[in-house]
Amino acid sequence: MAFSLFKLRICSKSAIMRCNLIVLLTLLFTSLLHAKDAGSQSLLEKKITLTVKNQLLKDALNKITEMDGVNIIFTGNSLFNTERVSIDVKSVSLKKVLNELLAPYPLTYKVVDDYVVIKRTAANPETNTPLNGFVDPRDTLKGRVTDPVGNALPGVSVTVIGKPFGAATNDVGAYSIPVSPDDSIRFSFVGYKTLVRSVRNKDELNVQMEADSTGLNDVVVTGYGQVQKSISVTGAISTVRTKELKQSPVANLSNALAGRLPGLTAIQSSGLPGSDAAAIYIRGVGTYGANKSPLIVIDGLPRGDANFGDIDVNEVASVSILKDAASTSLYGVQGANGVVLITTKRGKTSGKPNIEFNGQYSQQRPTRLPTYLDAYHTALLINEGRTNEGSSPIYTNQQLQIIQSKSDPYTYPDVDWYSVILKPSAPQQRYNINISGGNDIGTYFVSGSYLHQGSLLKAADNNKYGVSDKYDRYNLRSNINLNVSKMLSLRLDLATRLENRTGPGAGVDQGVAAYDWIFKMLSQYSRTTSPVYNPDGSYAFGTGMPPDWRNILAEIQSTGYYNNFWHSTNGTVEATHLLDVITPGLKIKGLVTFENYGTIDYAQSQHYDSYRYSKDPVTGTETYAQMTTANSLTKTYSTSGYRYYFYDVQLNYDRRFGRHNISGMFLGNRSYTSVYNDLPHVYQGLVGNASYNYDQRYYLQFNFGYNGSENFPPGKRYGFFPAVSAGWIISDEEFFKNNIRLMNFLKLRGSYGIVGNDQISTSRWLFLSNYSPITAANGYTFGNPGTNVAGYYESSVGNENVTWERAKKADIAIETGFFKNAVKLTVDYFHERRDNILTTPRTIPDYLGVSVIQPKNVGSVVNRGIEIDLNVNTHVGKVNLFGNINYSLAKNKILYADEPQLAYAYQYAKGRPIGDSLGYIADGIYRSQAEIDKGPKSTLTAKSLPGDIRYKDMNGDGVIDAKDRAMIANYNFPTQTFGGSIGFAVYNFDFSILFQGALGGVANYQGYLIPQYQYRPYQWNNRWTAQTAQTARYPSMHYNDWTNDNVNSTFWQYKTDYIKLRNFEVGYSLTGKLLQRVKIKKFRVFINAQNLVTWDKLPFNDVDPEINPSGNTAVPYPINKVYNAGVTVNL
């Protein structure tokens, strides 16, 4: 038996025949149940007992279904909802009952498999088609229907327009229908856009249905590859799809997420090619433990190499974040920080292959670069600092004049190192070609991508080694689905990623990464120290005070180069087998996946010749002192490697009993990661899910993960992480439907559950005591003569009670749709309490004698917030308008951190947000010596000067010392993030724009603002001087002793609130006959840009507010704006 097939009579002139959802689902089960067809005809003989009095026809039919287990399918004919019937029979054959019930109406029935299908009696006299026969079956059209993800869509209604034939797809999405060569076929399914395709002499037609974006029936991918309609989702999940992701011309996918998803915080802190990923957090941070980051899951599975940002965007169908316990509990012990779930694309059963080409070219420009004072002003400030401290100026007036006139650039240089080293922009290119397609045997999606990111270093392409500094990435993916038999399907995915990073050899002798070293020097090298070149053209050399003792240009041009190669390959084989023989609706899946990844790092480095030039001011004699000497290249290299395996076996059950829908999943899994330098990491566990819904109105779901982590001691490794969730679609209730017009959808959902986080520490085996040997040389001495002996000591005391962090999460949400879903609003409130946070205990008595106290699971944090997601999708005339505003608030507070009784209450971490640290409360600056004499005495410096920061004497003892430090914010993490996008499409133009912002972050710019090497305009303009004593905002200049000001204090804190114009895009799609003639389906050109404008409240506009400056003097590789133009061609 091939598949179920029956015909549907078109019941009205209206082109679309509406099936209700129950019918479709029933059809799905029809397919599932087809294996057992014996006795289908005897179905009509089944004895029925039925008593109905003046009820609607549909209720009478439903009653038969519910009471007697006969599945009756009836189409959305108005008769069912209007006609009332009465019947009272006992043990009468179904045939008789149906005859009696349907007789008064133009309705007839037919048995299909185990089902009775009721339809309208043939009413078209012209065709006069017998119900049970095919008319002129000259050709049979076959094909397969899939959803946007490539999964088979069973139960899709397939009709021939203008003909009374109908068919539905079977469980693998396949259909077969008799057609004439010039017929058109309509595919319709609730929640998907109706498709019409012409037959044109084909005998096979595969289609992929697109989700109807106005519907709430989008498919949502949840844990372990499960697919759910969003209407039925009872957890908190947000999804962004390819279209939006592709609007961001960023190299790293993570940077395309900011502002797109409510509940997600993305923080980019560097723009370094190949290392510019944003850190991702879900619902803020809920722990001060080691790992605050979400679990990364790709195609349903946790991966070893979780750099999801380096997957090419063209391979990605969607990125979802799972936020609450109901959606993450499947990942049990790893799910507490939320889950980022990436789903890759799959082929569609479109028949013809779809070939897509994407090409883009961009220029990347720093959003902001630090600005520094020129040498003359720097020298003035240096002198001022000296004078303030009571010592003699460094520069004489004559020297100042020379500096100002720049007349002696070799002795008194003024080098703007940023412009010497950096060029204004760096190129980026990316190309992708992908081919997808499929038929009822299978589908495929094959994609290849290349990305090139250039470096901002001027010398990047200009060095004697013939290498250019860059980041190259190659992504390959092949996702294949095969329908081996009607019972067995296979999935075979292979993906690989190759990355090459090339850069200068700088920093090798410092043990620092090249770019870190270069940018550290750049932001610390004073302008007055050294010229770039000496008069004779040799590299100049600095003064010998770090970090000024190198020549930055030479460090880039003449220190060699490095090549770092990253490789990552993964493959997955999954087999799904239907187990209808055991019970209908049951299937089993087995999956094996592996992943190999690692690095090959190779560098050639050398020193360069550099000289310190000096000229005798009297005699004019020039001397060149050689400071560094070139040597030949020296190689260094290292490799690392990882191998990850994961396998699971999964049982799925999905069945409808009348209006009761039951589904369940049970899965056992295991993973194993070999690590090149440590014991392998292993996990195993069981995962389960049970869902029930009644009439698709009331939803109830139970999920659990029962899994173990080797991080915990035997007997305490496994945890049970349950979550319950429920949903109620109020808008499907009669009282709602009949009374409320504007709002077409209203759903309440809520969840509560427990999830864990086993990545609580950077070290493993916390539960084991570790003993360290002491060599004889270092041991105790016994004997005569004295001889040292070896020893052992307990170097760490195992915490035999170590366990996972436990998050209890509650979520309650309301989902609405207005004006036929043109406007949708979802509001979530969440409350999370994280316990068992690994905390270095501060209340363990010393008399226990433990020298190294391992952390203990004692900390607690509460994290609460809301998420609002507003979507608009409508059209005004020919203009398609879409917009989204999302807002997230997440505030955390430490409830317990095992602190001892502190002498000063303001020093407790308890009650403060995560990330606070001890610092002084600034109370302005001392305007005069008189104020110093009056105020509390600072012990931070030997001598306070007017213009120094005044701190609050918290304990009132008249002295400013460590006891006056209070907990102050010191963690540049926003509590609120929001995104707003709007776009429209009209004719062939499309336009979209995205703003994104963050509020509530506070950062300490101490290292950046206190001049240690470079002086900044901000200091020049606002510093304390005798003249500006009353108005100055910034401390007076020091030269040697900044100790009073250079401490963590609120003085250097600034709010990092910002709004960024993250992204905009304009596209134009070519259409017309020309394209058709050259067989191009689609041709779109577009320009887009990223990070165009930043608005913030920082008083200096040369630092990106996303960068966390916390005490660093070094400013990292800048975040980039990207200007991009591209083309997409579909063949």
Catalog residues that contact other proteins under the rule CB under 8 A: 485, 487-488, 577, 579, 581-582, 588, 590, 647, 649, 651, 668, 670, 679, 682-684, 686, 708-710, 714, 717, 765, 768-774, 779-787, 789-794, 797, 799-802, 841-851, 853-854, 856, 900-903
Nearer to other proteins, 770 or 955 (CB): 770
Is the Cβ of residue 247 or residue 593 nearer to other proteins in the bound state? 593
Tell me how long the chain is: 1131
Q: What is the DSSP letter of 211?
A: B
Q: 853 or 982, CB closer to other proteins?
A: 853
Q: From the CB of 675, what's the least distance to other proteins, in Å?
A: 12
Question: Residue 41 or 784: which CB sits closer to other proteins?
Answer: 784
Q: Are 116 and 72 in contact (CB under 8 A)?
A: yes
CB of 107 to other proteins, least distance (A): 38
CB closer to other proteins out of 485 and 988: 485
User: Shortest distance, CB of residue 959 to other proteins, whole angstroms?
Assistant: 16
Indicate the DSSP class of residue 783.
T
Q: Which residue has the tokens 């290349």?
A: 450
CB of 647 to other proteins, least distance (A): 8
CB 320, min distance to other proteins, A: 28
> Closest CB to other proteins among 10 and 838?
838
Phi, psi (deg, nearest 5) at residue 2: -80, -65
Distance of CA 49 to the CA centre of its chain: 56
* One-letter identity of residue 392: S
In angstroms, the CA 985 to CA 995 distance is 19
What is the distance between the alpha carbons of residues 239 and 216, in angstroms, rounded to a whole number? Answer: 13
Between 391 and 485, name the residue whose CB sits nearer to other proteins.
485
Min dist. Cβ of residue 683 to other proteins (A): 8
From first CA to last CA, the distance across the chain in angstroms is 37
Least spacing, CB of residue 172 vs other proteins, in Å:
15
Alpha-carbon gap, residue 1004 to 432, rounded angstroms? 42
Cα(812)–Cα(830) distance, integer angstroms? 6
Burial (CB count <10 Å: 0-12, 13-18, 19+), residue 799: buried
- Rounded to an integer, what distance in angstroms lies between the CA atom of residue 1075 and that of residue 1077? 5
| Nearer CB in complex with other proteins: 292/717 | 717
Toward other proteins, which CB reaches closer, 487 or 872? Answer: 487
Integer Cα distance of 887 and 1106 in angstroms: 18
Closer to other proteins by Cβ: residue 704 or 973: 704
Exposed e or buried b for every residue in 97-107, given b needs 16+ CB within 10 A?
Answer: bbeebbeebeb
C-beta closer to other proteins: residue 279 or 686: 686
**What is the nearest approach in angstroms of other proteins to the Cβ of residue 895?**
17
Question: In whole angstroms, how close is the CB of 772 to other proteins at the nearest point?
Answer: 7
Q: Are 94 and 64 in contact (CB under 8 A)?
A: yes
Inter-CA distances, 722 with 234, 328, 603, Å:
14, 10, 50
Cβ count within 10 A of residue 989:
12
Six token digits for residue 1048: 């963590």
Contacts 24+ apart (CB under 8 A), 576-582: 576/488, 576/489, 576/490, 576/491, 577/487, 577/488, 578/32, 578/35, 578/171, 578/486, 578/487, 578/488, 579/651, 580/32, 580/33, 580/34, 580/35, 580/36, 580/487, 581/35
Structure tokens at 36: 């057992």
Q: Helix (H) and strand (E) counts for the chain? A: 16, 60
Tokens of 7: 């015909």
Nearer to other proteins, 389 or 710 (CB): 710
Q: Minimum distance from CB of 845 to other proteins (Å)?
A: 6
Write out the two tokens for 568.
Answer: 């990552």
Task: State the minimum distance, in angstroms, from the CB of residue 687 to other proteins.
Answer: 11
Q: Any alpha helices (H) in 3-90, and if so which ranges?
A: 21-32, 57-68, 78-82
Q: Minimum distance between the CB of residue 577 and other proteins, rounded to whole angstroms?
A: 5
- Report, in Å, the least distance between residue 800 CB and other proteins: 6
Residue 498's nearest CA partner among 471, 525, 462 is 471
Instruction: Return the number of the residue (735 or 782) whose C-beta is nearest other proteins.
Output: 782
Q: Work out whether the CA dihedral 231, 232, 234, 235 comes out positive or negative.
A: negative
Minimum CB distance to other proteins smaller for 334 or for 344: 334
Nearest distance from C-beta of residue 290 to other proteins, angstroms: 17
Nearer to other proteins, 551 or 709 (CB): 709
Q: How far apart are CA 199 and CA 102, in angstroms?
A: 36
